[in-house]
Amino acid sequence: MNIRPMTMADYDAVLGLMRGTPGVAVRAADAPEAIARYLARNPGLSLVAESDGEVIACVFGGHDGRRGSLHHVVVAPAWRGQGVGRALVARALDGLAAEGIHKTHIDVFADNEAAIAFWEATGWQRRGDIVRFSFNRSVDANV
Ligand SMILES: CC(C)(COP(=O)(O)OP(=O)(O)OC[C@H]1O[C@@H](n2cnc3c(N)ncnc32)[C@H](O)[C@@H]1OP(=O)(O)O)[C@@H](O)C(=O)NCCC(=O)NCCS
């Protein structure tokens, strides 16, 4: 397995990985132009893992200058439970640390028990003191 920065050449493979994965929402914000903008704003912080040239896992990483954020951490079903997710997230956090970002957040659907178990097992602190609010300027709820 090889972990390397994601590029737009990985877009179809990464979206393929995300689609049909329960617990991962693919939205208009995942359209190619939005992903290209995200990768350009956060160079080298989104990663893929590949095996024999096939993308088997992905993570989107970025920061706002103060705090990091991860999105869409997905490992292909056949590769789960083998440390791929742990290694991928560790590399993403290394990249953020290299930019001076030492605290990172991720949103997890409350009913995604496997993901919650993963984040707890890999040292992330579950927050009970924060409620997330979102404001949607679009009439499209799926933006
Ligand atoms: C969550 C996910 C990324 C974990 O990736 P993974 O490669 O299977 O995880 P790892 O093998 O690196 O596991 C790391 C630790 O997490 C724990 N863990 C992982 N999956 C788990 C599960 N389904 N149930 C309980 N614990 C789990 C294990 O205890 C493991 O610790 P160990 O190394 O001591 O055994 C993967 O299951 C996935 O892609 N799920 C679908 C997409 C998703 O929900 N992503 C998260 C969105 S927030």
pLDDT (tens digit per residue) in 16-71: 999 978 878 898 899 999 999 999 999 999 999 999 999 999 999 999 999 999 99
| pTM listed for this prediction | 0.95
What does the pLDDT look like over 93-124, one tens digit per residue?
999 999 999 999 999 999 999 999 999 999 99
Distance 88 CA to ligand 1 centre (A): 11
CA angle 80, 84, 87 (to 5 degrees): 150
Ligand 1: distance of its center to the CA of 125 in Å?
15
Higher pLDDT, 126 or 139: 126
Distance separating alpha carbons of residues 69 and 107, to the nearest angstrom: 9
12 near 26, Cβ under 8 Å?
Answer: no
117 Cα–ligand 1 center, Å: 7
CB 27 within 8 A of CB 49: no
**Paired tokens of 21:** 């994965």
Q: How confident is the model at residue 139 (pLDDT cuts 50, 70, 90)?
A: confident
Residue nearest to atom 36 of ligand 1 (CA): 75
Domains observed in the chain: 2-121 (3.40.630.30)
Q: Which of 51, 118, 119, 132 to mutate to test the pocket of ligand 1 (most atoms within 8 A of CB)?
A: 118
**CA angle at residue 60 from 142 to 28, to 5 degrees?**
20
